[in-house]
Structures are given as C-alpha cells and as structure tokens.
Amino acid sequence: MSGAHLVDSFLEMMSAERGAARNTIEAYRRDLGDYCGYLAGKGSGPMQAAREQVVSYLAFLDAQGLSASSSARKLSAIRQFHKFLCADNLRADDPTRIVGSPKARRALPKVLSIGEVDRLLSLAEQEANEPASDAKQAAALRLYVLLELLYATGMRVSELVSLKRSAVMRDATFLTIIGKGNKERVVPVNDRARDAVRAYVATLPPGPWLFPAGGEDGYLSRQVFARDLKGLAGRAGIGAARVAPHVLRHAFASHLLAGGADLRVVQTLLGHADISTTQIYTHVLDEKLRTLVEQHHPLSDKA
C-alpha cells in the first residue's frame, strides 16, 4: 500500500473514530504528505522508515528554518500516524517511539550595558534628591532604592517588592531574600545600595514592608514598579521597550560573569535551583573567551 493510501486510511480513522475537525484533518494531511514525500525522496516510505529517517526528516526541517514548535507539531502527527500503523498490524514497530521532540532554543536575555545601567541609576539618584512635593519625592526615592537593590542583588522583582523591612535591618552588609518555595538565601549588598536603603528607611512610617503601598498585599505591586522604571528609562534616553525589572536582573548576572564571576556563584545569588537555568548567561562567557583568545593567542593579529 502506498504512503498516500496509508495516510488516507489514517485520516478516515481520525474522522470516524475521533471526530477530528476538518481543519485538523487537513493539517494532518499536509504534514503527513510532506513526511511521506521526504521518505519517497530517500527511496523509502512509512512502512519501511526507521528511526534514523525520522530523525533525518526533523534535521531537514530544522535546516529549512522551520521553528521548533512547528517541527514538534509535525512530529506529533507522524507519531500518531505510526501508532495507527502498529495498531492496525500494518507495522510491527514504531520508529518514532524514542525520537525526542524538537526543543525551542532559549532566547538570550535582554541586557543593558553597564553604561546604560549607570545612566538609569544616576538619573534615579538625581531625581530622588531634587526638590519636589512630598509625594513626588517619596516616589522618586523609592524608585531609586528599588533600582539600587535590584542591580546590587539581582533578585526577582516579586522578591524585591515584597521585601520585609526586617530583611535589611538584621545586617547592613547582607540581605535575606525569600525566594521560590519559601527558600531563603543571603546575598551581599554593596555600599551604594546599603546607603540608599538606610536613607530611605529613615523616611518611612512604622510598618512591616520595605516598600509599603495601599493595595491588598500591603506592598508595592510589580506593575507599578515596571511602569515607573519605563518612565525613568524614557527620561534617560533609553528605549522603554528595552527596560523592565527582569532586564536589570539579567544585567546583574551578565555583568558579574563578564567581570570574571563563577557561574556557580551567580547561580546562588540568583536563587536558581538548577545550574542549567543559569547557563542561559553563558553567551557572556563565550564572548569573553573569544576576546581572550583573540587578544592573547600567539598567532592572533592582536597578540
């Protein structure tokens, strides 16, 4: 039986037994037709295809520039097709059984340069010290302290806005952060951030939160912080679309690695349970290694 006839039989089953919608049937027809066409070009077919040919087909799709999600969708159709062939005793084995699904490449995090972070911090400090109404000056000082702490520690925005005042009062040189799963971690705080926090705390009325607000939670919302940060970025001449609280966390990690910090240390500071999560920043290390080789290799023009 030809590949086209096998596909037709599969689609009839999908329609009759599973009630698949017309659009679903047509999508399967296109995906399986493409798969069978590839196999035919290799002198094979769905009855003869081995695991290696399924893997080769996925590699072909990747080389064509197809996204991982689209390739995974095609593989899902192929899996169901081969399960059908096995269930109907047309094939004794399923070549897709141990084929891994295509994984999307993790996008590199958006990162600001050290100069851009410095511009943000400098403007935030300037605005915090400018004469203004009590409410405006309090908001400016709060934003400045938020930025100093975020870039000094790399904490998650949810961890930052929900900081309790006691977390910064125990030891002026360290900060206790409650992360995911209520896990505590202690991170160092630089002099600049520490001084900013001390001056800020002196202006606060009594209460448990470092960044109190009138909402249900009792502390500043992430959305308000993000809005204020984007406004500051615009005033600093940095595209607001490039700036968000998590971008400062990325900058913290990337700038530390670029400066020579160990990946395991950065993992601990960020509160990542698995080193693989931190490895998204290794593009910084790759660039640093490339630069070192170019500068110091004996055969390099720059050596």
Structure token digits, residue 139: 């908001």
Of residues 73, 165, 222, 272, which has the active-site annotation? Answer: 272
281 carries an active-site annotation: yes
272 carries an active-site annotation: yes
246 carries an active-site annotation: yes
283 carries an active-site annotation: no
Of residues 79, 246, 283, 288, which has the active-site annotation? Answer: 246
Q: Are 185 and 194 in contact (CB under 8 A)?
A: no
156 carries an active-site annotation: yes
Of residues 156, 230, 250, 255, which has the active-site annotation? Answer: 156
- How many Cβ atoms sit within 10 Å of the Cβ of residue 276? 10
Of residues 119, 194, 249, 255, which has the active-site annotation? Answer: 249
Of residues 180, 242, 264, 290, which has the active-site annotation? Answer: 180
If you write DSSP's letter for every residue of the chain in order, what string do you get? --HHHHHHHHHHHHHHHS---HHHHHHHHHHHHHHHHHHHHTT--TTT--HHHHHHHHHHHHHTT--HHHHHHHHHHHHHHHHHHHHTTS-S--TTTTPPPP-PPPPPPP---HHHHHHHHHHHHHHHHS---HHHHHHHHHHHHHHHHHHHH---HHHHHT-BHHHHHS-TTEEEEE-GGG-EEEEE--HHHHHHHHHHHTTSPS-SBSSB-SSSSSB--HHHHHHHHHHHHHHTTS-GGG--HHHHHHHHHHHHHHTT--HHHHHHHHT-SSHHHHGGGHHHHHHHHHHHHHHH-TTSTT-
Of residues 28, 57, 219, 281, which has the active-site annotation? Answer: 281
Q: What angle do CA 150, 156, 162 make, to 5 degrees?
A: 85
Q: Interhelix angle for 134-153 vs 191-201, to 10°? A: 150
180 carries an active-site annotation: yes
Instruction: List, by residue number, the catalytic residues.
Output: 156, 180, 246, 249, 272, 281
